[in-house]
DNA sequence: TAAGGAAATGGAAACGGTTCCAAATATCTC
DNA sequence: GAGATATTTGGAACCGTTTCCATTTCCTTA
């Protein structure tokens, strides 16, 4: 088992100067003779440069920080997968912040200290504190889901999604509609943008809106409370999980309705009925974010980039019949 | 927007030596007077130490490498969440290797160069190459799912799981059984250990075994091939996703069977019927792995640790009636 | 063979920290 | 107030690289 060996060790063994070894490693001019000497030593000892020292000296760093608020969200994990798929040379420093602003600020500091060469933020809710911390960071930042002019960003076209779902909802001519969402302070795109079109389209309908959480169980419980008192014939949830929670509540209260969700995951086609859902391809979004970051690093554009990602409505059983 | 500032800058501004500033930062003895001088500068400029330089000098590193073969596996993601939950001071360098040995070896090199202070391997299949690469790594390594004496490890008690599921399967007195699994070379614990007890218990039964993939769609297609020719009354899949694929195939071919899976995810309770499943708490496993690593780092035990994690059978609808 | 240019090499400084050691200053005791 | 001791400080070396610059060595060519 080879010990870790440094450039100085190689230099000593080969009877040359450190600088020569470095030149050898970086393709500078070295004579054939010394090249061979160094060559054998390097491979004998399986020399690997110390990335820390390199980064310190070169001030470049093939490390990208990724801040992800939740690992239990299909969308987030899909984006991670996409990031990873598009990545060819960087390693990712991933920090999970559990949607806590304090943890997020700490994460930003940490990544700053690690001198990452870029930052990808999957957080949906950029608070003032976070914005300031990010701006103090002299490194390209790509965010997602929030239309912040200060940063490069990839946006889900939630406005359009809401319009499409709103129109579609109208076409179902519902009598009584239940909407499940989250407070807009918590996630502007999901809590506000995504439902704008829906509110608009259903302005003249009998609509009840409740706030819930991102997971199935809480959504079911919250839905249960209203569904045990009222009967709905159309339920729209801001995410698939919420919608599934409501669906379970609907089954438990023996009422029949149509269901529409947002998102893209295995869940929508394992649940019975299969869920009609407005789907975004988060995997592709992730790829896009990484490529955007890469592009920014290489070309250093003067303007902040703004990419918008469209989704599409996928009709499945849950809006064909009543469940 | 403050520029990044170094210890030397602070020293200059405060009219002291670098060493004094460093001492101030690390709680050495500094007079009240200079302490105050430095204090204001540090907070004015929001000084943050360069972690690269620190790590280079100190040869310690609050960075842990995590190698995860697949990000589209609930189990893996849950373990990640657990790691993260138990973590208090490290940042994670996460590398996704897509189950490719080559990528995994590259990842190990990369993490080695980054001088991470520990390595957590979620890969289930440690090949000889990988074992060697890991052993050349002079840093604690914690692996999962494979009983390799060379490393600290956290094991799922797949042997016991198989026994329990096997016994349970017998109690259902099936006529014709379909098992879905993967080749044992691909994942020893899942492909071999997990089904040993099942094979054993069902030795005298009419059992068909097929190999498939980890995702629902492929499992459905593979299951469809055998299920369109034969009728089964008990199906056991090595993971929940496989079992769900088979369940869908069963529905498509209008046959009724009971279904048993392995794993723990939202899926088992969103699918209809809810899936009876042998469940491991991967979130806890992740926590355990991190704590094990931490423990090893602190106490440097001479023996490789071996922790075994039990799961439990959770009965749900899919074995109550025939679907 | 001497001069000239090109190629190869070594030495030293730098990146941003920490730490050892010796020197300077402060504090205490009689 | 001198001497002894404790506290604070500055200087220098070091971690493992890269790079600049000056020097040496090597080839050409007249």
- pLDDT at residue number B35: 93
Are the beta carbons of A235 and A165 closer than 8 angstroms? no
Answer for A51: CB within 7 Å of strand D.
no
Chain B 48-77 contacts with nucleic strand C (CB below 7 A): 48-50, 53-54, 56-58
Cβ pair A48:B96 closer than 8 A: no
Using one digit for the tens of pLDDT, what is the confidence trace for A86-101?
Answer: 998 888 999 888 888 8
| DSSP3 helix / strand / coil % (chain A, rounded to 5) | 45, 20, 35
- pLDDT at residue number A4: 83
Are the beta carbons of B316 and B276 closer than 8 angstroms? yes
- pLDDT at residue number B252: 93
Task: Look at residues B133, B80, B122, B83 and name the one whose alpha carbon lies nearest to residue B99.
Answer: B122
E strand intervals along B196-320: 206-211, 234-237, 258-262, 276-279, 306-309, 312-314
For chain C, which bases have at least one atom within 7 A of a protein Cβ? Answer: 7-21
Determine the distance from the C-alpha atom of residue A91 to the mean position of all C-alpha atoms in its chain, rounded to a whole number.
16
Are the beta carbons of A117 and A300 closer than 8 angstroms? no
Contacts of B277 in chain A (CB under 8 A): none
Structure token pair of residue B111: 């993490």
Structure token pair of residue B305: 């640790």
- Exposed / middle / buried, residue A171 (Cβ in 10 Å: 0-12, 13-18, 19+): exposed
Task: Look at residues B201, B189, B124 and name the one whose alpha carbon lies nearest to residue B158.
Answer: B189
For domain B7-58, give its CATH number from 2.40.50.140, 3.30.590.10, 2.120.10.70, 1.10.260.40: 1.10.260.40
Q: Which nucleotide is nearest to A113 (CA to C1')?
A: C16
| In the predicted structure, residue A19 carries a pLDDT above the cut 70 | yes
- pLDDT at residue number B2: 54
Task: Look at residues A129, A131, A207 and name the one whose alpha carbon lies nearest to residue A166.
Answer: A207
Phi and psi at residue B264, in whole multiples of 5°?
Answer: -155, 115
Are the beta carbons of A238 and A181 closer than 8 angstroms? yes
Distance CA B3, CA B103 (A): 38
Give the pLDDT mean for B96-116: 90
- Give exposure, B270-288, as e/b (b: 16+ Cβ within 10 Å): bbbbbbbbbbbbbbebbbb
Contacts of B241 in chain A (CB under 8 A): 266
Closest CA of chain A from B267, distance in Å? 6
- For CA atoms A77, A79, A84, A89, the dihedral sign is negative
- pLDDT at residue number A155: 93
- pLDDT at residue number B1: 44
E strand intervals along A21-98: 63-68, 91-96
Query: Binning pLDDT at 50, 70 and 90, where does residue A2 land?
Result: low
How far CA A71 is from CA of A167, B74, B87, B246, B299, in Å, comes to 32, 10, 14, 28, 31
Closest CA of chain B from A185, distance in Å? 25
Total Cβ atoms within 10 A of residue B135: 12
| In the predicted structure, residue B300 carries a pLDDT above the cut 70 | yes
Structure letter (DSSP) for residue B321: S
Greater confidence, A208 or A124?
Answer: A208
Q: What angle do CA B209, B238, B122 make, to 5 degrees?
A: 135
Task: Look at residues A249, A181, A236 and name the one whose alpha carbon lies nearest to residue A205.
Answer: A236
| In the predicted structure, residue A299 carries a pLDDT above the cut 50 | yes
Strands B312-314 and B276-279, bridge-based pairing? antiparallel
Cβ neighbours for A136, distance < 8 A, ≥ 6 positions apart: B1, B2, B46
- pLDDT at residue number A117: 92
Phi and psi at residue A168, in whole multiples of 5°?
Answer: -65, -40
Query: Binning pLDDT at 50, 70 and 90, where does residue A1 land?
Result: very low
Distance CA A121, CA A286 (A): 11
- pLDDT at residue number A123: 83
* CA atom of A206 to C1′ atom of C21, Å: 82
Distance CA B196, CA B166 (A): 9
For chain B, give every residue range classified as CATH 3.40.50.2300. 63-156+282-309, 158-279+313-319
- pLDDT at residue number A131: 93
Phi and psi at residue A67, in whole multiples of 5°?
Answer: -110, 120
A·B CB contacts under 8 A? 112
Secondary element (H or E) of residue B249: helix B240-252
Using one digit for the tens of pLDDT, what is the confidence trace for B310-319?
Answer: 999 999 999 9
- pLDDT at residue number B276: 97
At residue B123, the 3 state secondary structure works out as coil
Distance CA A111, CA A129 (A): 16
| DSSP3 helix / strand / coil % (chain B, rounded to 5) | 45, 20, 35
Using one digit for the tens of pLDDT, what is the confidence trace for A170-226?
Answer: 999 999 999 999 998 888 888 898 999 999 999 999 999 999 999 899 999 999 999
Nucleotide C26's nearest residue (CA vs C1') is: B31
Beta bridge partners of A211: A181
Give the pLDDT mean for B179-188: 90
- DSSP per residue, A217-230: HHHHHHHHHHHTT-
- DSSP per residue, B26-44: TT----HHHHHHHHHHHHH
Structure letter (DSSP) for residue A149: T
- Exposed / middle / buried, residue A254 (Cβ in 10 Å: 0-12, 13-18, 19+): exposed
Query: Binning pLDDT at 50, 70 and 90, where does residue B111 land?
Result: very high
- DSSP per residue, A1-28: -PPP--HHHHHHHHTS-HHHHHHHHTT-
Using one digit for the tens of pLDDT, what is the confidence trace for B193-222?
Answer: 899 999 999 999 999 999 999 989 999 999
Task: Look at residues B167, B322, B105 and name the one whose alpha carbon lies nearest to residue B233.
Answer: B322
| In the predicted structure, residue B308 carries a pLDDT above the cut 60 | yes
For domain A158-279+313-319, give its CATH number from 3.40.50.2300, 3.30.1240.10, 3.40.50.300, 3.30.70.980: 3.40.50.2300
Contact of B109 with chain A, judged by CB distance below 8 Å, is answered with: yes
Give the pLDDT mean for A99-107: 89
Distance CA A9, CA A21 (A): 10
Using one digit for the tens of pLDDT, what is the confidence trace for B254-290?
Answer: 998 999 999 888 899 999 899 999 999 999 999 999 9
| Nearest beta carbon to residue B109 from set A48, A55, A272 | A48
For chain B, give every residue range classified as CATH 1.10.260.40. 7-58
Q: Which fold has domain B63-156+282-309?
A: Rossmann fold (3.40.50)
Contacts of A56 in chain B (CB under 8 A): 50, 52-53, 56
Give the pLDDT mean for A285-302: 93
Give the pLDDT mean for B62-77: 90
Nucleotide C6's nearest residue (CA vs C1') is: A29
Closest CA of chain A from B200, distance in Å? 31
Cβ pair A81:B93 closer than 8 A: no
* CA atom of B143 to C1′ atom of D14, Å: 35
Mean pLDDT of chain A: 92
Answer for B23: CB within 7 Å of strand C.
yes
Terminal C-alpha separation, chain A: 64
Query: Binning pLDDT at 50, 70 and 90, where does residue B242 land?
Result: very high
């Amino acid at each position: 088992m080879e010990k870790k060996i440094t450039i100085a060790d190689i230099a000593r063994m080969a009877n040359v100067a450190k600088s020569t070894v470095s030149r050898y490693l970086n393709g500078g001019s070295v004579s054939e003779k010394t090249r061979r000497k160094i060559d054998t030593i390097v491979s004998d000892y399986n020399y690997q440069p110390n990335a820390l020292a390199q980064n310190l000296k070169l001030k470049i760093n093939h490390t990208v920080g990724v801040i992800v608020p939740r690992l239990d969200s299909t969308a987030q994990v899909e984006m991670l997968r996409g990031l990873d798929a598009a990545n060819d040379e960087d390693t990712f420093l991933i920090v999970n912040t559990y949607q806590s602003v304090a943890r997020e600020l700490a994460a930003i500091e940490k990544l700053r200290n690690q001198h990452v060469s870029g930052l990808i933020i999957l957080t949906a809710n950029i608070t003032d504190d976070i914005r300031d911390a990010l701006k103090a960071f002299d490194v390209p930042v790509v965010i997602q889901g929030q239309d912040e002019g200060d940063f490069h960003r990839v946006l889900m076209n939630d406005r359009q999604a809401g319009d499409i779902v709103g129109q579609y909802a109208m076409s179902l001519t519902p009598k009584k509609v239940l909407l499940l969402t989250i407070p807009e302070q918590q996630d502007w795109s999901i809590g506000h943008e995504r439902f704008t079109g829906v509110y608009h389209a259903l302005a003249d309908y009998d609509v009840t809106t409740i706030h819930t959480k991102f997971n199935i169980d809480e959504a079911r419980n919250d839905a249960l409370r209203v569904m045990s008192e009222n009967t709905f014939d159309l339920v729209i949830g801001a995410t698939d999980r919420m919608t599934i929670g409501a669906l379970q509540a609907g089954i438990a209260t023996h009422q029949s309705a149509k269901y529409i969700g947002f998102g893209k995951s295995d869940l929508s086609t394992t649940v019975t009925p299969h869920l009609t859902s407005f789907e975004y391809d988060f995997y592709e979004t992730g790829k896009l974010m990484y490529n955007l970051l890469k592009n920014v690093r290489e070309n250093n554009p003067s303007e902040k980039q703004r990419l918008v990602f469209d989704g599409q409505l996928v009709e499945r059983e849950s809006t064909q019949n009543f469940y």
